[in-house]
Chain A
Amino acid sequence: MNITPDRHLFTPQEPEVRYVADPDGLDGDVDWKAACAFPNRAVVALSAILQREALRLLGQQGRLFAALVRPLVWLFVFAAGFRAALGLAITPPYQTYITYEIYITPGLVGMILLFNGMQSSLSLVYDREMGSMRLLLTAPLPRWWLLTCKLVAGSLVSVLQAYVFLAVAAAWGIRFPPGGYLAALPAITLAALMVGALGLVLSSFIRQLENFAGVMNFVIFPVFFLSSALYPLWKMAEAWPLLRDVCAVNPFTHAVELIRFALHAQLEPLALTVTIVALAVFGAGAIWGYDPARGLAARKI
């Protein structure tokens, strides 16, 4: 026992409360009351979460670099080798014969979004980021808003990485119409949000993942390969119609097609609809999964 006698100094003072409600006088300010209103607090929190993500990204330039290596290897090595093997017919949005690199670039943008979305959402499952999620969830704001902030922050990083990739590809000579780069911004953003929301749903349901390899095997690879990222669907139908059908219902296919058409300054209504619906479904799933009455409660943390 380590109790020393002079501890009477710390006797709790029940009736005599010396707590000063407003020691620095900041609360007396009328503006403070307005600043406490929900929309203001919500915006302050969102900008702080975005800022934190930006500072973290700046602090780890390696993260940006690492995220680019994978798609660039696919583009420079895989696509270069594959172009000879694959003949591409002229299908929308293409109006002329294209190289395989042009075909695969939107798919690789999708790959960046997919890896990044899974990484930022599923890092919540690991202890490393779980702490920051706990901290976030104790903020006096609605859960759905906190999850939205988290999703938007992660997605913006993805969008940034996608554009750096497009810039490197352009420097290599793989270019799209100038208007396409602008039109692709909302498409890439929407796709990033959709994939990030999928990651959030998974993070609320998966109890534990040994490592990222598990996510690669069971989520990223199936989602990526069962899509139109690498081959057009009609080409897949030649090989195995069922495979084409599976790819056609994969929301990631539609996200990639949305980006593909947008990069050629065109809109694909079906792809847009499916991506939006998938975002809504995954978003609702994430809110449900993170409901205090279940979800996280299922995992002992």
Chain B
Amino acid sequence: MGGLNVEAVTHAWGARRALEEVSFSVARGQFCALLGPNGAGKSTLFGLLTRLFTPLAGGIVIAGHDLARNPQAALQRIGVVFQQPTIDLGLTVRRNLLYFAALHGLSGRRAEIRVMAALDRLGMAERAGERAGALNGGHRRRMEIARALVHRPAILLLDEPTVGLDGAARAAIVDHVHRLAAEDGLTVLWATHLVDEIRPPDRLVILHCGRVLADGKAGEIGGADLTGRFIAMTGAAP
């Protein structure tokens, strides 16, 4: 029930096919990396998963809820971190999260508790009162991940969440999100074009030109050299 199912999803932008019968499923508590070079269709897939637009064909089931038939129940179960930051820089971290909590129907004491719990989970509790604009890139991203957890979703979707971050901040975020999957049973779909964010036990789906090229355990797909394997498959520099 807590997992994600993508079934034969097809989408096009005008004449250009962005996704061609993409199917995969992620079990509850699994960290699934969606690896693909730029232009592979990752962002299109994220747009479909968050129902910014609907696919031409195929279906998406989120934690047992069909996104087309029961969009609100499905959206209630996902937390999203978009590639571009979506933060009110002028407001405090706490305010940013409270706003999002309210969009999910949480208010008052309940919202305060959830917001602080989510910030605490990402090690950001002491920054609750800071203006979001004063945070560095890594902390902004952590804030956005905390925000995506406020309504306690079953599935966390992250679209290239480490773009623009330095090495240490990247490692910290990769680590945090792996822990969320392992310790909290959160289902994670992590889109990236960076092989070094993926660990051998992770589930791995490789997307290229809108098609699934490989689907399995990262360690098994890549063997000792996932980078080399990825380049060989896609002809792209990672």
Contact = CB atoms under 8 A, between A and B. Distances in A.
B54 interface: yes
Interface string A22-65: 01101000001001100011001101110110011001100000
A2 B196 contact: yes
A119 B104 CA distance: 27
Contact of A135 (B53, B86, B91, B196): B86
Interface string B49-92: 01111100000000000000001110110101010111110110
A43 to B, nearest CB: 9
B107 interface: yes
B203 interface: yes
B85 A293 contact: no
Interface string B177-208: 01101111110000000011011111100000
Interface residues on A, range: 35 or more
A10 B182 contact: yes
B47 interface: yes
A85 interface: no
B209 interface: no
Given A14-B27, A55-B91, A134 B86 contact: yes
A64 to B, nearest CB: 14
Given A12-B182, A48-B102, A131 B29 contact: no
A9 B76 CA distance: 30
B99 interface: yes
B90 A45 contact: no
Given A45-B105, A296-B52, A12 B72 contact: no
A12 B202 contact: yes
A23 B84 CA distance: 31
A60 B117 CA distance: 30
B33 to A, nearest CB: 11
A13 to B, nearest CB: 6
B196 to A, nearest CB: 4
B51 A141 contact: no
Given A1-B226, A48-B107, 8 more contacts: A17-B28, A23-B117, A134-B82, A138-B78, A139-B75, A293-B54, A295-B53, A296-B52
Interface of A: 1-3, 7-14, 17-20, 23-24, 26, 32, 35-36, 40-41, 44-45, 47-49, 51-52, 55-56, 59-60, 127, 130-132, 134-142, 292-297, 300-301
